[in-house]
Structures are given as C-alpha cells and as structure tokens.
Structure 1
Amino acid sequence: MKYVYDLHKTMLARNLILIYEGEFTQEITKSVLAMAERNMDSMGEESSIKRKVFNVMVECLQNIVKHSDEYNPLTEKRHTAIFMIGKHDEEYIITSGNPIKNENVDGLRERLERINGLDKEGLKTLYKEIIKNTALSDKGGAGLGFVDMARKSGQKLEYDFEKMNDRYSFFSLKTTISRSTTGE
C-alpha cells in the first residue's frame, strides 16, 4: 500500500493536477477534459489561458485516440496510454505517452523536428499549407495537431521515443503553456 502514498507524494512534488492511464476512447477523453476544465475553473484561471490549455489537451488526447498503435502486453487493449496535466507557478505542462510502431518513429521524429524548427510565422504558414494541400488521412487527421499545439503553446514541443521491444516504442510528448498573458 506504500505505493499509493509514494504516488501521492510524486503528484504533489510535480504539481500534477490530473493523471489518467489506460484505454482512451472518445468518452474517456470527454471526461478527462471535463475534469481538467473544472479544476482550472476552481482555481480561477483566466479564460484566455484556459482556452489554450484546453485546445492543446484536445489535440493531445485526439492524437492518443487516433494514432496510438495497439500494444499492451497484459491486455492487448487499444489506445492504452497515459495523459497528465500539471500546473506550476507560471505554466501548465501537458504530457502524454503512447506506444507506436518502431517503423513510425523516424517519420514522426522528422515531423516534430520540422515543427520545432519553425518560428511563429513559419508555423502559421505550415498550418495553412496543410489545410490547403492535405487530404484527411485514413485515421482522420491531416497532420495539423502537432502544428496547432506548437502554435497555441508558443514553445517547442518536447518529445522522446523509448524503445519497448523489437516492434514498439513509447512516444512521450510534453507541451508547456505559459500562464503569462503578456505578448498575446
């Protein structure tokens, strides 16, 4: 039972507001969003900051639902992943992680590096280019999610790929959103 207290201490130390680990569906996504929104409301967060955080959360959760590859050695359930949101003095940190096939790592890394290499205007141009020139993929997206997350946060997307086995890697993504309203 000590692990419960250890987890509690970790959540407090890292200022984590919400953690969800498990299968992600549209219904679970709605519940996670509602809980986070209620939490920000109870803290009296400014509406402009709430909108940014909410938008990034939606993109992050949709990414998990649409694009995580099937992998769970214990249950083989789809969309088993983790989502966390934390609040520090001047920022919200939204973190997610999900398994992807190793064959998809290089392409995803290239997309993220391209996005991180762009400034505000470059992101805006890429966003418009994707909308204009890209059809929806078979999983329902046009590749806009990461671009939109970078635009809304105004910061680089942090990511990592941890090899799980010969077929899968665990993709972790961290997006930071400043609570400062200066420069908007």
Structure 2
Amino acid sequence: MNASDLYALGERFNQNRTLLCFNGPISRSLIEEIGNALKNYLNAEHARPAEAMDVFSVYIEMIQNIRQYAALNGDVDASATVVIGRRDDSRYVVSAGNLVKDEDGQLLVARIRELAALDKPALKVEYKQQLHKPRTPGVASGAGLGLIDIARRAGAPLEASLTPAAGAGQAFFSLSVVI
C-alpha cells in the first residue's frame, strides 16, 4: 500500500467514524490488546458505563465465536476482520467477519434473521429456553446463548451477510451489531 492509499484509507475511517479496525489472524493476546484499546476509546469518548459494557461484551462474544469456529474447523490462524465505529446518532456499531463454510454461513444468517425479528421480551424467552437445553460436552451448540445475548444487547436488529469467497464452498460471514 502506498502513502496516498493509506491517506485515503484514513480519510474513509474518519468519514465512517471508525474507532478501531483490525484484519488478520487473531490470537488470545491480540483479543486482549484490542479489548484494552476498545476500553480506552470508550473511556475517551465518555461512553456511559452500561453502553461501554455492551460494546465490549459484544466485541468479546463475536471474536470468541470466530476463534471457536476456526478451532472446530482446523483453522489455526482464526483470521477475522473487526471494525468498531460510531453512527451519526451516537450509537456504536460492532462488526466482525470471517471465512466460513458456505452451508454454515447460510444457517447462521438464517438464525440471525430469526433473532432479528424478535423483540426484547421474546429474546429473553429465547435466551431462557436455550439456557435450559441439554448440552453435549465438546460439541459446538452453534448460534446459541452468545448470539442471543448479542441480540439482547443490541439497540437495533442484528444485520448479517454472506459473501461468496474465492475458496470452493467458502463464504465471508459478516455480522453488525448496533449498540
């Protein structure tokens, strides 16, 4: 990337009110460092404590889901794209994405659309039902409590997309959460 491209990228980040952006393999230590940077940004922006906790919790849940999915599928890199920014109405937007098997992505997008159609009381009921479902140790529950918790913290319906990727049978899954 040359200097003028970097300037244009910085300008785009400013226009989109991007606070934090990361793209690449994500390790536990990097998750922690990004989390610390996020806390510092939220403190500098004087975010309300409850709002800051929601933004941080959603970031952690999303990135942990990406790492767990990668581990279950033998992907040691666990690459992700994470963007956290502000909207004009002073809400925060946490977005994250990663490569997934196309069929997994389709199921996930369908589940997110189901959750996006629920109001807060219905999400609470869904959460309690999921909480009481039996779990098999060592088997991923897929779009379970964590995703429902994200939907409960969101200030708007969740938005998900699936974009075909260069790999056979792969797609890039993206989730955006407004807080």
TM-score by length of 1: 0.86
Confirm or deny that 1:154 pairs with 2:155.
yes
Aligned partners of 1:34 and 1:168: how far apart in 2? 32
Q: List alignment gaps of at least 5 residues for structure 2.
A: none
- Report how far residue 137 of structure 1 moved: 5.5
Confirm or deny that 1:115 pairs with 2:141.
no
Aligned partners of 2:62 and 2:119: how far apart in 1? 21
Structure 2 counterpart of 1:84: 83
Aligned residues: 173
- Report how far residue 25 of structure 1 moved: 1.8
Structure 1 counterpart of 2:54: 52
Aligned partners of 2:143 and 2:134: how far apart in 1? 6
Q: What percent of counterpart residues are identical?
A: 26
User: Is the CA contact 1:16–1:86 (under 8 Å) kept in the aligned structure 2?
Assistant: yes
Structure 1 counterpart of 2:7: 5
- Report how far residue 103 of structure 1 moved: 2.2
Q: List alignment gaps of at least 5 residues for structure 1.
A: 178-184
Aligned partners of 1:150 and 1:140: how far apart in 2? 17
- Report how far residue 110 of structure 1 moved: 2.2
- Report how far residue 65 of structure 1 moved: 1.3
Structure 2 counterpart of 1:34: 36
Aligned partners of 1:161 and 1:32: how far apart in 2? 25
User: Is the CA contact 1:66–1:140 (under 8 Å) kept in the aligned structure 2?
Assistant: no
User: Is the CA contact 2:111–2:143 (under 8 Å) kept in the aligned structure 1?
Assistant: no
Q: Which runs of 4+ in 1 moved over 2 A?
A: 68-71, 136-142
Letter in 1 for 2:47: E
